[in-house]
Amino acid sequence: MTYVCGHQRVPSDSKEFLEVTKRDALRLLENDLDRLLLSAMPERRASLQQEMARFVDLFRRFLQEEGPSIDWDKIQKLPENAVMDYSKLKSPNTDKVQMMLDKLVVVKLNGGLGTSMGCHGPKSVIPVRSDLTFLDLTVQQIEHLNKTYNANVPLVLMNSFNTDEDTEKIIRKYKGFRVQIYTFNQSCFPRICRESFLPIAKDCNVDKDIEAWYPPGHGDFYDTFRNSDLLKQFIDEGREYCFLSNIDNLGATVDLNILNKLVGEECLDKPVEFVMEVTDKTRADVKGGTLIQFENKLRLLEIAQVPKERVDEFKSVKTFKFFNTNNIWAKLDAIDRVCRHHTLNMEIIVNNKTLENGLRVVQLETAVGAAMKCFDGSIGINVPRSRFLPVKKTSDLFLVMSNLYNLKNGSLVMSPQRMFPTTPLVKLGENHFGKVKEFLGRFANIPDIIELDHLTVSGDVTFGRGGTVIIIANHGDRIDIPAGAILENKIVSGNMRILDH
């Protein structure tokens, strides 16, 4: 269960009691963290102390914040120039591209594991197309840019303690590629007990009790990027912007038209410090964060910040037309400024979890897009849907492995044979298709879906070499679709074997 911090207001006669308990909670937490630090190896204590100081700051804000972080009635209409239309952006002259790329750093959020799809290790090493992984495709994309324009765009991976070791081993294979790869680790924060608000960790040995620790969301990027010294290095090199995205979003490639608006011939007189790529909301995206104007600042509004009685309004495609792709362009010196001045003030996401042993814990997290309000001159750009191609489930994997996309220099490009630019809606049942191994075992190959509009598969279904529309195997039933079967505009349900004749 996840929600954005803000506690219900309490009657004034309870206020004093709460203030005392909050002070006690903070003091007890700091004492416990001091105890944990004593268990760390001496050479690690300084960096851990810095990390724990950030956690204490997050915890202090969690205790202090009252009420919802957004007053719904104070949401303002988006100004006309707040969201630019991508189609109005101009392409740069080819002779300017190298100069523009020399000002860019590409950052991929690489902290996630593939466990939700039944895979071990970092999610970035799951094969997604032609035996190439997310990381392979990313390296190919940037190498192609560097070779084509004689540039030197670096790739930076933000790992977590879950993915760091495996990623470091894997990136050795890219030594012969024309891409400089850097890595740094986001913070490792202690999970706290929901009842006592104290860390559940007994010492600082994360490997010994990995369930006691967590990476605190991608909002942690700004501070850890700066503390890694990579930010200073890139600024000293004359680089101006980073393009940051989730490693599992295969549509998040370097876009020269957007870069042209930031550092090229089309750049505005006043520099844009923060760009959030948004795209048109469809009924499949009603829970995605959106852009709003609030207190005369452009900012991200997540569903967890919305009062219950306003959720339907938030989900409305008419009221809120855009949703956040989490593709972000940020000015490097502005990141340095907001970190130095401690003006980063991202909403706290309170993530309640129950561990395997039944212990209820709290994770305090932040989201990278929520920092938008902390920068000057932030804008949104309404980009084509093709720039949002995340692979969160096997349903998404089904799409990117299909003939709907062609692979070109590490980028997936929708087939020109597709008559309309929207992607099909695919729903594969979690019980039988949720894990990658099961999913692959149920398809002899991915069917032709060039003209597909909607595919739902539920239950114990296996596919030969063909295609289908909606297939439902009821509990205890089994459906086999033979090789060569062509099902068009059909609903198949029950318990049956479809035979050739």
293 is annotated as contributing to ligand binding: no
Residue 309 confidence (pLDDT): 83
Contacts made by residues 73-77, CB under 8 angstroms, sequence distance 24+: 74/294, 74/295, 75/292, 75/293, 75/294, 75/301, 76/292, 76/293, 76/294, 76/296, 77/293
76, 296 contact by CB (below 8 A): yes
Specify if 124 maps to a domain: yes
Residues 106 and 240 occupy one common structural domain:
yes
Considering the chain, what is the average pLDDT of its residues?
86
Q: Is 238 annotated as a binding residue?
A: no
229 vs 234: CA distance, rounded Å? 9
Q: Are strands 189-190 and 349-354 parallel, antiparallel or unpaired?
A: unpaired
Clarify whether residues 220 and 343 are in a common domain.
yes
| 138 domain residue, yes or no | yes
| 241-246/322-331 β-pairing | antiparallel
Please tell me whether residues 380 and 406 are part of one structural domain.
no
Residue pLDDT, tens place only, 46-64: 888 889 999 999 999 988 8
Residue 65 lies in a domain: no
**Last residue in a domain, options 334, 361, 387:** 387
Least confident range of 208-222, 270-284, 406-420, 472-486: 472-486
Query: The tokens of 169 are what?
Result: 């081993």
Same domain, 479 and 442: yes
Angle between helices 45-64 and 15-38 (to 10 degrees): 170
Model confidence pLDDT, tens digit, residues 97-134: 999 999 999 999 999 988 888 888 899 998 888 889 99
If asked whether residues 301 and 357 sit together in one domain, one would say yes
Considering 387, 418, 433, which residue would you say is the last residue of a domain?
A: 387
Tell me how long the chain is.
Answer: 501
> 377: left (phi > 0), else alpha (psi -120 to 50), else beta?
left
User: From the centroid of its chain, how far is CA 246?
Assistant: 4
Instruction: Report the pLDDT value the prediction gives residue 18, as an integer from 0 to 100.
Output: 54
Question: Which of 91, 218, 97, 72 lies closest to 152 in space, CA to CA?
Answer: 97
Q: In this structure, are strands 454-458 and 425-428 parallel, antiparallel, or unpaired?
A: parallel
| 419 and 351 part of one domain | no
On whether residue 353 sits in a domain, the answer given is yes
- Quick: pLDDT tens for 482-493: 655 656 555 565
Q: Is 437 known as a binding-site position?
A: no
CATH code of 431's domain:
2.160.10.10
What is the Cα–Cα distance from 89 to 79, expressed in whole angstroms? Answer: 19
459 & 342 share domain:
no
Give the confidence band of 467 by pLDDT, cuts at 50, 70, 90. Answer: very low
* Residue 443 placed within a domain: yes
Q: Please check whether residues 403 and 437 belong to one and the same domain.
A: yes
Confidence of residue 462 (pLDDT cuts 50, 70, 90): confident
Q: Is 202 annotated as a binding residue?
A: no
Residues 6+ apart with CB under 8 A from 232: 226, 336
386: exposed, middle or buried (Cβ count in 10 Å: 0-12, 13-18, 19+): middle
Residue 97 in any domain: the answer is yes
Whole-structure pTM value: 0.88
More confident residue, 429 or 7: 429
Q: In 387-491, which ranges are continuous DSSP H helix?
A: 394-401, 430-433, 436-441
Co-location of 373 and 424 in the same domain: no
Per-residue pLDDT band for 287 (boundaries 50, 70, 90) equals: confident
- What tens digit of pLDDT does each residue of 312-357 get? 888 887 778 888 999 999 999 999 999 999 999 898 888 889 998 8
Q: CA torsion 419→423→424→429, rounded to 10°?
A: 160
Known binder of ligand: residue 144? Answer: no
> Catalytic residue numbers?
392
Tell me, yes or no, whether 294 and 338 share the same domain: yes
494 known ligand binder: no
Q: d(Cα 399, Cα 401) in Å, to the nearest integer? A: 6
- Nearest residue to 144 (alpha-carbon basis) of 177, 184, 187: 177
Residue at 199 is within a domain: no
Query: Using an 8 Å Cβ cutoff, are 107 and 156 in contact?
Result: yes
Instruction: Tell me the average pLDDT across 380-406.
Output: 92
Residue 325: CATH number of its domain: 3.90.550.10
pLDDT band of residue 404 (cuts 50, 70, 90) is very high
Q: Is residue 343 part of a domain?
A: yes
Per the structure, the complete domain to which residue 243 belongs is given by: 72-185+216-387
State whether 263 and 308 are in the same domain: yes
Confidence at residue 282, expressed as pLDDT on a 0 to 100 scale = 78
Count CB atoms within 10 A of the CB of residue 237.
13
**What is the number of structural domains in the chain?**
2
**Residue where a domain terminates, one of 331, 365, 387:** 387
Q: Report the distance separating Cα 335 and Cα 225, nearest Å.
A: 9
Going by the DSSP 8-state scheme, the letter that residue 340 receives in this structure is H
Token pair 């990117």 is found at 400
| Domain match, 363 and 426 both | no
Quick check: helix, strand or coil at residue 127? Answer: strand
Please check the confidence at residue 500 and state whether its pLDDT lies above 50.
Answer: no
Residue labelled with tokens 């707040």: 82
Q: Give every strand in the sheet of 104-110, ordered side by side.
A: 83-85, 378-382, 274-280, 322-331, 241-246, 104-110, 155-159, 181-185
- The per-residue pLDDT for range 379-389, each reduced to its tens digit, is 999 999 999 99
